[in-house]
Amino acid sequence: MRFLPRLHDLYVARAVMAAVILTWAVLLGLDVMLALVSEFGDVGKGRYGFVQALAYVGLTVPRRANYLFPYAAVIGSLMALGQLAATSELTALRAIGLSRRRISFAVAGAVAVLTALMVISGETAGPIGQRRADALKSSAKSDNLIVAQYSGVWAREGDTILNAAGGQERDDGNDRWIELHDVRLYEFAEDGRLVSMARAKVAEHRPGGWLLRDVNRTYFDQRSVSESRVAEERWESRLDSTALTAGTDRPRYLSAGDLRQAIEYRKRNDLDAGDFQEHYWGRWFYPINVIALCLAAIPFAFGLLRSGGTGKRLFVGIVFGLGFYLLQTQFVQLAKVLKFDFRLAYLLPIVIMAGVSAYLFKRRSG
């Protein structure tokens, strides 16, 4: 078999790509409209008006597009192949020697191109847009003109626990850093005894650690208490924006890189990293899920959908996509409860779906 694309491969790929994009646009449009309607409940709180709601939803579009793409891919692929089958174009392509496997590769190639774009968007535009949307909404609903991105932060780094009343990310054009306000640091000994407590007016995250300003520290010895006050103090810590964001943001809105750092931070401090591992491996299996789901749906185009209309193709696509999603969700939840590897939880539904598809593909090829 020659794997270099030919004219008939490009024809099938173009039909699939057009149907996927159209389906994707419809699903995304409906989701955006529903999201905008749900934001009306917050309109009028502080400075959060219709324009701010529209901007908020607009900034979340990349994240929504990434989430909806797998469903659009399987429904669009079935719509395209079903239409080609209904007009006997698939029959004509097979009559000139084009095998079903070749058609499957053409479909996979078209979907893979769009999936690659979605993976890039999911690691860049999606998290950035969601973060800016949340910051915009928080600042508009608050009377404070400064965006309090980190509010009521609690974090742990080794034997030290940090608490900050609030803070934000600052940018002067050449440098960007985190600034926390009204910071308290509680340092404990290995036996759980409180060793010291420090209160800093401001804490700035700089390369190599934190710079604490206007620090008032209290030391607790066995039989005495002492106090010191300094204008500046360095705190050598690997606690960074990812760890702080992990405490306030939802894991599913973080990029794979941020999720990996959050997992390392939590493991380093003996904290539960289950939610972050779930979404981290979900990022890795995202492109595999999309391609596998579309390939698993292809056998329907050679039989069930040939005599059916658009309604049947749409119905089968929705049922197939939701069935796969529910199956994988159940395995992931089992992995969280039974504490087995999330990679296995994501892989098993793909194997099951691929096995069913291979069986159907073989039957329809016989």
DSSP tag of 251: G
Q: How many degrees, rounded to 5, is the angle at CA 74 between CA 73 and CA 76?
A: 65
For tokens 């998290």, name the residue.
127
- Tell me the average pLDDT of the chain: 82
Spatial contact of 195 and 187, defined as CB atoms under 8 Å apart: yes
Let me know: does 334 contact 346? Beta carbons within 8 Å.
no
Percent of the chain with pLDDT over 70: 84
Whether 365 shows a pLDDT value over 70: the answer reads: no
Residue 75 exposed, middle or buried by CB count within 10 Å (0-12, 13-18, 19+):
buried
Q: How far is CA 89 from CA 101, 295, 362, in A?
A: 16, 19, 21
**148-243 adopts what CATH topology?**
lipopolysaccharide transport protein A fold (2.60.450)
Give tens-digit pLDDT for 261-270. 888 877 877 7
Between CA 163 and CA 244 the distance in angstroms is 11
For tokens 């479909």, the residue is 107
Task: Give the Cα separation of 100 and 12 in Å (integer).
Answer: 12
What digits encode the pLDDT tens for the residues 25-62?
999 999 999 999 999 988 888 888 999 999 999 999 99
Q: Using alpha carbons, select from 122, 137, 75, 86 the residue that is nearest to residue 279.
A: 122
The C-alpha atoms of residue 148 and residue 135 are separated, in whole angstroms, by: 8
- CA nearest 162: which of 242, 98, 235? 235
Which residues lie below 8 Å from residue 156, measured CB to CB, with a gap of 6+?
Answer: 162, 269, 271
d(CA 26, CA 33): 11
pLDDT of 144 strictly over 50 = no
Q: How confident is the model at residue 242 (pLDDT cuts 50, 70, 90)?
A: low
* Collapsed DSSP state (helix, strand, coil) of residue 170: strand
Q: Hey, is 357 helix, strand or coil?
A: helix
Q: Which of 30-39, 164-173, 204-213, 314-323 has the highest mean pLDDT?
A: 30-39
CA distance 356 to 106: 21
Q: How far apart are CA 20 and CA 323, in angstroms?
A: 19
Residue 198 is inside which H or E element, if any?
Answer: strand 194-206
pLDDT at 310: 60
The identity of residue 307, as a single letter, is S
What are the backbone angles phi and psi of residue 182, rounded to the nearest 5°?
A: 50, 65
What pLDDT sits at residue 169? Answer: 67
Q: State the pLDDT at residue 31.
A: 95
pLDDT for 146 beyond 50:
no
**Higher-pLDDT residue of 330, 310:** 330
- Sorted by where each begins, the domain ranges of the chain are 7-124+275-365, 148-243
Reply yes or no on whether the pLDDT at 164 is more than 50: yes
CA quadruple 112, 288, 353, 347: dihedral, nearest 10:
170
pLDDT at 73: 92
Pairing of strands 150-157, 160-171: antiparallel
pLDDT for 198: 92
Average pLDDT over residues 274-291: 90
Q: In the prediction, which pLDDT does 284 show? A: 93
Predicted local confidence at residue 145, as pLDDT: 38
Q: How far apart are CA 280 and CA 192, in angstroms?
A: 32
d(CA 119, CA 256): 10
pLDDT digits (tens, 9 = 90+) for 182-238: 889 999 988 888 999 999 998 888 777 888 999 999 999 878 888 999 999 888 887
The CA distance from 345 to 356, in Å, is 18
Q: How far apart are the first and last CA of the chain?
A: 20
Kindly write down the DSSP assignment for every residue of 88-112, as one continuous string: THHHHHHHTT--HHHHHHHHHHHHH
